[in-house]
Structure 1
Amino acid sequence: MRTDLSKESVAMNSAPSRWCRTAGFAAVAAAALIALTACNPFGGDVVAYDLPAASARYSFQAQTAGTKTVWEYTSDQPAKSDVPQSSPCIGDLTQQKSGACRPEPLIFLRYDLDLGLDNTAKAGGVHHITVTGYYQDRISTPPTVNKLRAEASFDGGKTWRPVRTKAGKQNTFAVDIDNPRRDKAPEGVGLRISATDSAGNTVEQTIPKAYQLH
């Protein structure tokens, strides 16, 4: 089975500044995608790879700038290709068809860290952030992200503690973090987010230092 990860997927998940006060940062898959470009005659813009036809569980990992992301998803042979006409499969473009293809259902995460103008959050109070799960635009019928677990670290990722989460609009969750005093978290606040969708696909993203305190 041939599956595609599009240029758009890479672009949407390239890392902006970690301290962007509204967007935060997204999952960074680019480093891992580079290893998959060997079968791609067009370079790094589109990544395609073949998988066995039988249904199986797969794990895909990426680590960039200290942020580690682990995806687990189930994939099987599609009955027919499921990609937009504007973004066809590589086999269709090269006339070297190897069967039907479709994008893989990887869950990506988008953060609104709600930071101040100095890109920090207030110490010693409850801090509200928003986490949204999303997929490549190329997926015609994406699953729904229906579960999210959040943990915070105040010692650079050595230890983690669960924090409160509440489901909001589709694929979106509110996360409340009890920020400690600044001297109790000199390295800032780390986040570890685990999300699951209605198809059983998962993502776990670990950011040892998501924001600083003031």
Structure 2
Amino acid sequence: MNTRVPKDRRRGRALTVLAATAMLALTGCKGGDLVSYDLPSKSARYTFQTQTDDVRTVWEYTSAKATKNDTPRQSPCVGELVDGDTSACRPEPLIFLRYDFGLDLANTAASGRKHEVTVVAYYQERLTTPPQVTSLKAEATYDGGWTWRPAATKAGGRNTYTVTIENPPREQAANGVGLRISASDSQGDTVRQTIPTAYGLR
């Protein structure tokens, strides 16, 4: 499964880490050159990591071989579409993160002031009964990821959180402000996403 992070982080657009296609995360599906996962029948803990540009994401989740389909009828499995494979399949319960940084057109925020970032956790649409995100923690860095400090978080709507970052004076974060988010859900699955430079200061 591939992930992509748009480089444009301007106001009104969300920095999003997406599955390039939800079909690639279906278990038990085989379709041509598409990537799929045929897991053992016994439940086990898995780690999946990806890095796009400077953004690193690590998922930890529990999964096992699919015994029945868990996909909407309007979104059949890859194998069924490509070569008629009718093996049971489902999406993996990965937590994805979407951000609204609230920046100006230069992708910067005011220095020496508090700045709020909205973080929305979500799952692939094919997952018919997604878990509930139960906690989200945030950390900020002003030196490119060498050191991190906690940032306040406040739960809003479903799977939505507001992160408040104490922006330092501009000279104390010459290369901008970075963000690290750690979230977990009701099934014990987790995600940690590290953005060494999320935005600049003005």
Query: TM-score of the superposition, structure 1-length normalised?
Result: 0.84
- Cα offset, 1:148, TM superposition: 0.2
**For residues 14 and 24 of structure 1, what CA distance do their matches in structure 2 show?**
13
Residue 161 of structure 2 corresponds to 173
Count how many residue pairs are aligned between Structure 1 and Structure 2.
196
Would the aligned equivalents of 1:28 and 1:63 in 2 still touch at CA under 8 Å? no
Q: 1:28 to 1:209 in 2, by over 3 A?
A: farther
1:19 aligns with 2:6: no
- Cα offset, 1:186, TM superposition: 0.2
Q: Which amino acid aligns with 2:99?
A: Y
Residue 187 of structure 1 corresponds to 175
- Cα offset, 1:146, TM superposition: 1.4
Would the aligned equivalents of 1:29 and 1:62 in 2 still touch at CA under 8 Å? no
- Cα offset, 1:188, TM superposition: 0.2
Q: 1:29 to 1:70 in 2, by over 3 A?
A: farther
**For residues 163 and 181 of structure 1, what CA distance do their matches in structure 2 show?**
17
Residue 193 of structure 2 corresponds to 205
3-state SS of paired residue (1:183): helix
1:144 aligns with 2:132: yes
Residue 31 of structure 2 corresponds to 40
3-state SS of paired residue (1:16): coil
1:127 aligns with 2:110: no
Residue 66 of structure 1 corresponds to 54
3-state SS of paired residue (2:15): coil
- Cα offset, 1:96, TM superposition: 3.3
Q: Which amino acid aligns with 2:7?
A: S
- Cα offset, 1:87, TM superposition: 2.0
Residue 27 of structure 2 corresponds to none
1:160 aligns with 2:151: no
**For residues 203 and 91 of structure 1, what CA distance do their matches in structure 2 show?**
28
Residue 52 of structure 1 corresponds to 40
Q: Structure 2: give runs of 5+ residues left out of the alignment.
A: 25-29
Q: Which amino acid aligns with 1:96?
A: D
Q: 1:146 to 1:22 in 2, by over 3 A?
A: farther
3-state SS of paired residue (1:101): coil
**For residues 69 and 38 of structure 2, what CA distance do their matches in structure 1 show?**
14
Would the aligned equivalents of 2:183 and 2:190 in 1 still touch at CA under 8 Å? yes
Cα deviation, 1:95-116, whole Å, max 9, x if unaligned, reads 334x321000111000000112
Percent identity between the two aligned chains? 55
- Cα offset, 1:197, TM superposition: 0.8
1:88 aligns with 2:88: no
